[in-house]
Amino acid sequence: MVWFTEYQTENVGLTIKAKEVKTINSKYQEIIVLDTEEFGKVLVLDGAVQTTEKDEFMYHEMLVHPALIKHPQPQRVLIIGGGDGGSVREALKHKSVEEVHLCEIDEEVIFVSEKYFPSISSKLRDEKVKIFIEDGNQFLEERKNYYDVIIMDSSDPIGPAEVLFQESFYKKVKSSLRKNGIMVAQTESPFLQEKYFKNAVKEIKKVFKYVGVYTGFVPTYPAGMWSYTLASDDVNVLDNVNKDRLDNIETKYIDEYLYTNLFAIPKFIKNMIE
């Protein structure tokens, strides 16, 4: 047994006991797979926990389903990042979706996920899915007015991923959306990563007319509190529409009641973004 610690801030860490540790060095980062009693297998990229078998559904369901439910008829979906495949799996639960493009810069993350996380990566080779091993920022420059929903399933805004949290990037996202297009991004922990959270929401608000922030629990993420931001120029994402679609989607976290109250966030978070 070994103890692994993710240093989530300079003063806070998450420590997990692992039965086995596998390390793979890709072209871009260090990839670690932990085999643990508490969370099952855990995927770690450059020292930061990305997903675990036990709590991944909490993150992927909350990231994906609100955007696809609010869109009138989502057919084309782009996921930037998300090489573990969890967002792909959730997007394909929507019957109207005809194609899912996954843009992941590090192909090794996909290979590792398919080998060690089959329950998460199970839909990566679905006939509706096309995988692009490219930088998300450059990828969008070549695709205009194409997608109905764009999902930002990126890592923390550090290093190469930093550009994915800036106004210039969100403008590219906007130009790649069709009419009634919706974007959703994971926007970090408002409790332990306040600086990153506030900046991401601020940059998104500069670009899109309608913006809504919501939160959810992910036990292995910093503070266990995670944020997501929906945005669109054509669809008022704050409206509670199409909630009956959840009746036809198998979920473990989000339900009709949670969806209806999606934007009921704590007062201290409202104060941050206002």
As annotated, the active-site residues are 153
Residues 6 or more apart whose Cβ sits within 8 Å of residue 77: 68, 91, 97, 99, 100, 101, 147, 148, 149, 150, 151
Total Cβ atoms within 10 A of residue 30: 12
Assigned token pair, 32: 């670690």
* CA 204/CA 185 separation, integer angstroms: 9
Structure tokens at 10: 């300079």
SS3 of 62-86: the string is: HHHHHHHHHCCCCCEEEEEECCCCH
Distance CA 207, CA 210 (A): 9
Whole-angstrom distance, CA of residue 54 vs CA of residue 75: 30
Question: In whole angstroms, what is the distance from residue 99 CA to residue 165 CA?
Answer: 25
Residue 176: CA count within 13 A, CB half-sphere: 25
